[in-house]
């Protein structure tokens, strides 16, 4: 049996770990995940999805704050892995770590490399208006998602996809590809193919400041941004000094002053943009939950009215 060490943190990673635990030809000898983080109103320490799953399967869990010290390196060496599998781990792996597994390190990356190397490939693909993405099994090297490709599987991006729905489909696609990559790497049937660096694009980490809507952008660009930032960090605009989060929208025809509400009737709120108009379908006021905009019109009709211009603290 192959000795496998797994490194990952969120739900997307946990789904891949689950597949490995059901694969009889591997022995998962250790699971690395990020340290518990404080979350929720009580700010209690919360374990990652990978830690919860690992403990449910009685797998040993390691949570170093960094892999750049000799203690972490020695700890991994004692596990003597044949393969290290990395899925949305969130910590950098120095070359000394990458050199430990005898067969190398496999990274599960949520794009068709070399397109969208980096931290947020799913979100950036939606934001850019791509019609296709996929899953790549990559043999890791010291660069940022620059390693040789073992396997790839494409996945369409639908016009209504959010990052949540797209992640779900990729998570259903990835585990089978991972098992195939582990099997092929161990029996020597896979031939890693180098990436074409000239085709590379970079999926920079999401910055929360990007979530503030600029109504001078086009309706289509705003709709893509809203979908790509759902469920986090969620796009928002200012209304009477409050953050109005916009969860769902649709680009439409229309014109007016960018940010101005041009329709607030019949259960619809439509806002003019730099090009076209944006129909807000689901939104959230501070202290409330996300609701269909028709419900918000009933409760906030004095604020959500035609002529109001969104986008500034003084609106």
The DSSP string of 117-135 is EES-HHHHHHHHT-SEEEE
In angstroms, the first-to-last Cα distance of the chain is: 64
Indicate the SS3 state at residue 38: strand
- For residues 232 and 223, give the distance between their C-alpha atoms in angstroms, rounded to a whole number: 15
- For residues 12 and 172, give the distance between their C-alpha atoms in angstroms, rounded to a whole number: 9
Res 42: pLDDT:
79
Res 313: pLDDT:
47
CATH number of 2-203: 3.40.50.170
pLDDT tens, the chain, 315 aa long: 899 999 999 999 999 999 999 999 999 999 999 999 988 777 889 999 999 999 999 999 999 999 998 999 999 999 999 999 999 999 999 999 999 999 999 999 999 999 999 999 999 999 999 999 999 999 999 999 999 999 999 999 999 999 999 999 999 999 999 999 999 999 999 999 999 999 999 999 999 999 999 999 999 999 999 999 999 999 999 999 999 999 999 999 999 999 999 999 988 999 999 999 999 999 999 999 999 999 999 888 889 999 999 986 443
- For residues 278 and 253, give the distance between their C-alpha atoms in angstroms, rounded to a whole number: 8
Please state, as a whole number, how many other Cβ atoms lie within 10 Å of the Cβ of residue 119: 16
Residues of the chain with CATH 3.40.50.170: 2-203
Residue whose token pair is 């390190």 = 105
CATH number of 208-299: 3.10.25.10
- For residues 193 and 207, give the distance between their C-alpha atoms in angstroms, rounded to a whole number: 33
- For residues 197 and 116, give the distance between their C-alpha atoms in angstroms, rounded to a whole number: 12
- For residues 74 and 105, give the distance between their C-alpha atoms in angstroms, rounded to a whole number: 17
Res 314: pLDDT:
42
Res 221: pLDDT:
98
Indicate the SS3 state at residue 163: helix
Can you read off the two tokens belonging to residue 212?
A: 């503030």
Neighbouring-strand partners of residue 109: 136
Omega cis (within 30) before 233 = yes
The answer to whether residues 20 and 178 touch, using CB atoms and an 8 Å cutoff, is yes
- For residues 53 and 57, give the distance between their C-alpha atoms in angstroms, rounded to a whole number: 6
Res 172: pLDDT:
96
Residues of the chain with CATH 3.10.25.10: 208-299
Residue whose token pair is 């929360």 = 208
Res 38: pLDDT:
87
């Amino acid at each position: 049996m192959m000795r496998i060490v797994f490194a990952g943190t969120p739900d997307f990673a946990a789904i891949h770990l689950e597949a490995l635990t059901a694969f009889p030809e591997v022995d998962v000898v250790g699971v690395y995940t990020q340290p518990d983080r404080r979350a929720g109103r009580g700010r209690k320490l919360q374990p990652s999805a990978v830690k919860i799953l690992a403990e449910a399967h009685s797998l040993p869990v390691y949570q170093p704050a960094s892999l750049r010290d000799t203690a972490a390196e020695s700890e991994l060496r004692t596990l003597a892995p044949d393969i290290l599998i990395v899925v949305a781990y969130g910590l950098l792996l120095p070359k000394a770590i990458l050199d430990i597994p005898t067969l190398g390190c496999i990274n599960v990356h949520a794009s068709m490399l070399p397109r969208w190397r980096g931290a947020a490939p799913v979100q950036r693909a939606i934001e850019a208006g791509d019609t296709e993405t996929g899953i790549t099994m990559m043999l890791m090297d010291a660069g940022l998602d620059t390693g040789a490709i073992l396997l790839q599987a494409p996945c369409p991006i639908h016009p209504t996809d959010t990052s949540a729905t797209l992640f779900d489909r990729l998570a259903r696609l990835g585990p089978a590809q991972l098992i195939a990559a582990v099997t092929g790497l161990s029996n020597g049937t896979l031939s890693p193919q180098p990436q074409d660096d000239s085709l590379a694009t970079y999926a920079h980490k999401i910055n929360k400041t990007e979530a503030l809507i600029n109504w001078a952008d086009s309706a289509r660009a705003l709709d893509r941004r809203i979908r790509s930032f759902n469920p986090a960090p969620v796009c928002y605009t200012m209304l009477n000094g409050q953050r109005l989060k916009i969860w769902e929208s649709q680009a439409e025809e229309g014109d007016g002053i960018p940010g101005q509400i041009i329709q607030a009737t019949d259960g619809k709120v439509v806002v003019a943009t730099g090009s076209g108009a944006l129909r807000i379908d689901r939104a959230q006021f501070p202290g409330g939950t996300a609701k269909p905009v028709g419900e918000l019109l009933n409760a906030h009709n004095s604020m959500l009215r035609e002529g109001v211009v969104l986008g500034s603290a003084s609106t």
